[in-house]
Amino acid sequence: MANAKLTISFLTISAFSADNVNAEFPKENAVNIDSPQRAFRSANATDTRLVIDLGAVQTNLSCYLDWVNFGTFKYQESADGSTGWADIGSTRTVEKDPMHGVYRRKDDLVLTGKRYLGILIPTQAPVDGAAYFRIGTFAVPTNIVELDIETTVEWPFEVNLPESNVIENRYPTGRTEKNKLGALDPMIISFGLRSTVQQNIAGTAVSEIADLLRDSTKIIYIDFNFGESWQAYLVKKVGELRATINDPAVSTLDMGTILMEVVT
C-alpha cells in the first residue's frame, strides 16, 4: 500500500532542439502528451540528445518518459540549451512495464537553476531491435497531489481489446502514419481509493480528489508510488465515478473502484 500521486497539470514545455533526428518523426512529437504513439525518432542508434525548453529556470522537476525503446539514458542540464551540459545524477536504466510491455520511467530531478533539460541517449542497441531511438512522450507533471488515503490496485491490470490494433496518426500536411500495436492493446487500470476510521478526510480534500478524477476528457498523471520506476501512467478516466461518505465515521471517504484507460 502507498499513497498514490495524481495530477491533471503539466508544465508547458517545448522541444528546443535535437541532433541525429529523423525528419519524418520530428522533435515536437516527444512533447505531445495526447498521443504517445506519435513519437520522436532519431536517424540511427548512435548518440542522440533531445533538448527540452522548460520555459523558465527550474530547480525541481518530476519527469515522465513513455514509449521509449532504449535501456539507458542520462538527464542533463544547460543554461542556454547548447553549451555547458552537466549530468543530473548518473546513467538511468529504463525498465519494461511487465503488464503493458512498454518501456517507461519516472524521475524526480533536482536542477541547479537551469532552463534547458537534455535527454542524452548514448549509442546502444534499441530494446526492440529497431535501427533508431524513439521517445513517445516526455512530460513534466506539476501540482502533484499525494493522497493521504489507502490506494489499492485491486486486480492490477486488465486488457481492453480494441476493434482494431492499428492506430492512424494524421498530420497537418495531410500525411498519415499507421502504427500497428501488435500484441499491445490499450490497458485498463483498476484501482480503489479507500479510507479507514482512523483517517479523517476533510470535505475540501474529498472535493480535491473528486476534481482530479471526475473529468473524462482530462489526461491524468498517476504514480502508484510503489517504488517501481515504470509504474506511472498517463490515463483518462472511464466509467462512472462513485464516492461515498461513510457514517458513522464522519468525513471518511470510500471512492470505490476507479477505471482508467492508459493513453496510447
Tens of pLDDT, residue by residue over 16-75, are: 999 999 999 999 999 999 888 889 999 999 999 999 999 999 999 999 999 999 999 999
**Residue 101 located in a structural domain:** yes
Pairing of strands 244-246, 187-194: unpaired
Considering the domain architecture, whether residues 106 and 137 belong to the same structural domain is answered as: yes
Burial (CB count within 10 angstroms: exposed 0-12, middle 13-18, buried 19+), residue 110? exposed
- For 200-264, strand residue ranges (E) read 220-223, 232-238, 244-246, 252-262
Q: Which residue has the higher pLDDT, 112 or 207?
A: 112
Considering the domain architecture, whether residues 16 and 137 belong to the same structural domain is answered as: yes
The b-or-e profile of 228-241 (16+ CB within 10 A means b, else e) is: eebbbbbbebeeee
Predicted pLDDT at 157: 46
How many other C-beta atoms can be found within 10 angstroms of the C-beta atom of residue 86?
A: 12
Predicted pLDDT at 185: 59
Considering the domain architecture, whether residues 115 and 172 belong to the same structural domain is answered as: no
* Range 81-106 average pLDDT: 94
Q: Which of 142, 172, 189 is the last residue of a domain?
A: 142
Q: Tell me the percentage of the chain whose pLDDT exceeds 90.
A: 53
Task: Provide the domain count of the chain.
Answer: 2
Grid cell for residue 152 = 489499492
Q: Which three-class secondary structure state does DSSP give residue 27? A: helix
Residue 78, beta-bridge partner list: 116
How many other C-beta atoms can be found within 10 angstroms of the C-beta atom of residue 116?
A: 22
Q: Which three-class secondary structure state does DSSP give residue 13? A: coil
Burial (CB count within 10 angstroms: exposed 0-12, middle 13-18, buried 19+), residue 24? exposed
Considering the domain architecture, whether residues 138 and 162 belong to the same structural domain is answered as: no
Domain of 217?
Answer: 150-262
Q: Is the peptide bond before 248 cis (omega within 30 degrees of 0)?
A: yes
Contact predicate 47/123, CB 8 Å: yes
Q: Is the pLDDT of residue 236 over 80?
A: yes
pLDDT in tens, 176-210: 655 544 444 568 887 777 666 555 565 666 667 77
Predicted pLDDT at 204: 64
d(CA 81, CA 116): 5
Considering the domain architecture, whether residues 68 and 165 belong to the same structural domain is answered as: no
Considering the domain architecture, whether residues 20 and 133 belong to the same structural domain is answered as: yes
Q: At residue 121, what is the residue type?
A: I
pLDDT, mean over the chain:
83
pLDDT in tens, 65-84: 999 999 999 999 999 999 99
Q: Is the dihedral of CA 140, 142, 148, 154 positive or negative?
A: negative
Considering the domain architecture, whether residues 94 and 170 belong to the same structural domain is answered as: no
Q: Which three-class secondary structure state does DSSP give residue 207? A: helix
Residues 6+ apart with CB under 8 A from 188: 157, 158, 159, 160, 238, 259, 260, 261, 262
Q: Which of 209, 246, 184 is nearest to 37 (CA)?
A: 184
